[in-house]
Amino acid sequence: MIERDATPPIQRLRRLRRLSGLRDLVREHEPNVRDLVYPIFVHHGTNLKREIASMPGQFQYSLDRLDEPISATVEAGIPAVLLFGIPEHKDSEGRSACDDEAIVQSAVRKIKNQTNELIVITDVCFCEYTNHGHCGALRSIGGSIEVDNDATLKLLAEQAASHARAGADVVAPSGMMDGMVAAIRRGLDEAKFHYIPILSYAAKFASAFYGPFRDAAGSAPAFGDRRGYQMDPAGGDEAMREVEIDVSEGADMIMVKPALAYLDVVRRVKDRFRVPVAVYNVSGEYAMIKAAAKNGWIDEDRIVLETLTCFKRAGADIIITYHALDAARLFR
Ligand code: PBG
């Protein structure tokens, strides 16, 4: 009788890793330029293209210089931009955000005159428009100054309708007010914009990764922080509740933000809700890669590609990233 070896044969997964053609054939996830959204900062004034110190390669543009990043985005084959406005005047309620002649509305009209090949998404929030830098109107509640949720809802609906009138294709409320999606949906429908989708910043965490953005948008809170409305980074179940509520209020797409440290949330959302999911690869994530690359400590191109691939693996359909223009080049 022949002795049989009891050790099981080696399971050889390396067989499919030997040749780059085989790796290409079996690759499960691949980011595509058609998944990307490029965020752009529109600043008041003229003839302005100012680099953001903590976000090398990203700029604030005045309206008259906006054609430059827009052309670059279209030429790269990127399908969408996300607009942020930095207005000249701020007040306690951020009123200027709702004006049809305001900075973002003017930018939307300008872009739509330049091209009809781009989806224009607008960030709907007040932190860039309030003189205190919070995401809505303030009020004293139980002795402390807080953002007045319900008063802000009305203003959010006004701002979203104004963006739609200017020609925005999608509105993206980012203020984490309770009921914001329902209020905006109602406001849009009443203004006959039933066809404009809402991309809700549904699971937005109170994150230190937004640091550079607040320099870029001039929106750092003058006092306190955003923990009274944005989510605690520890909240996973809470993120599910936020998304569930936003979907029930009529959100067409939902966002998880930031991206890298929150990919478990992306996966949970994707598995549980059958809606398109966007990740926002935020300013601090961008700044870390740029800083390390500048020091020669990492290979920027490879890290960017790896990062975007992992967003797809986690379940993201849409990737909002400051790397968009660079990444589009990498995919070619
Ligand atoms: C708020 C808003 C923020 C970002 C997008 N929308 C900042 C904040 O909540 O403080 C952050 C984006 C980034 O860090 O890239 N309107």
The confidence score (pLDDT) of residue 319 equals 98
Q: Whose CA is nearest to atom 1 of ligand 1?
A: 174
* Nearest-CA residue for atom 11 of ligand 1: 210
Which ranges of the chain have pLDDT less than 70? 1-3, 332
How far CA 315 is from CA of 37, 200, 271, in Å, comes to 16, 17, 8
- DSSP, residue by residue, 117-181: SSEEEEEE-STTTBTT--SS-EEEETTEEEE-HHHHHHHHHHHHHHHHHHT-SEEEE-S--TTHH
Q: Please report the pLDDT score of residue 1 as a whole number.
A: 61
**Distance of CA 210 from the midpoint of ligand 1 (Å):** 6
CB of 152 closer than 6 angstroms to any ligand 1 atom: no
What domains lie within the chain, and their CATH numbers? 30-331 (3.20.20.70)
Q: In angstroms, what CA-CA distances link 329 with 6, 60, 67, 269?
A: 52, 22, 20, 30
CB 174, CB 124: distance < 8 Å: yes
Q: Whose CA is closest to atom 8 on ligand 1?
A: 210
Query: 104 Cβ partners below 8 Å, 6+ apart?
Result: 42, 83, 84, 85, 97, 122, 123, 163, 166
pTM across the whole model: 0.96
Cα separation, 233 vs 303, in Å, equals 24
CA angle 35, 41, 44 (to 5 degrees): 155
Q: Name the region of 324 (left: φ>0; alpha: ψ -120 to 50; beta: rest).
A: alpha
Which pLDDT belongs to residue 193? 98
Give the DSSP letter string of 221-271: -SSS-STTTSBPTT-SHHHHHHHHHHHHHT-SEEEEES-GGGHHHHHHHHH
> How many residues in total does the chain contain?
332
Q: Which atom of ligand 1 is nearest to the CA of 282?
A: 15
Q: Is 110 exposed, middle or buried (0-12, 13-18, 19+ CB in 10 A)?
A: middle
3-state secondary structure of 116: coil
Question: How far apart are the C-alpha atoms of 23 and 151, rounded to whole Å?
Answer: 54
Kindly give the distance from the C-alpha atom of residue 171 to the centroid of ligand 1, in angstroms, as a whole number. 15
Torsion angle, CA of 285/288/294/295, rounded to 10 degrees? Answer: -160
Mutation test residue for ligand 1: of 219, 225, 255, 279, the one with most atoms within 8 Å of CB: 219
Cα–Cα distance, 329 to 263 (Å, whole number): 25
Nearest atom in ligand 1 to the alpha carbon of residue 127 is 16
* pLDDT for 249: 98
**Tokens representing 85?**
């406005």
DSSP state of 23: H
The closest-lying atom of ligand 1 relative to the alpha carbon of residue 210 is 14
Cα separation, 156 vs 187, in Å, equals 9
38 lines ligand 1 (CB under 6 A): no
Q: Is the CB of 127 under 6 A from ligand 1?
A: yes
- Comparing CA positions, the residue from 65, 127, 59 lying closest to residue 97 is 127
Give the pLDDT score at 6.
Answer: 82
Pocket test for ligand 1, best of 52, 121, 132, 174 (most atoms within 8 A of CB): 174
Active site members: 204, 257
- The residue behind tokens 């007045």 is 148
Distance from C-alpha of 123 to C-alpha of 108, rounded to nearest angstrom:
12
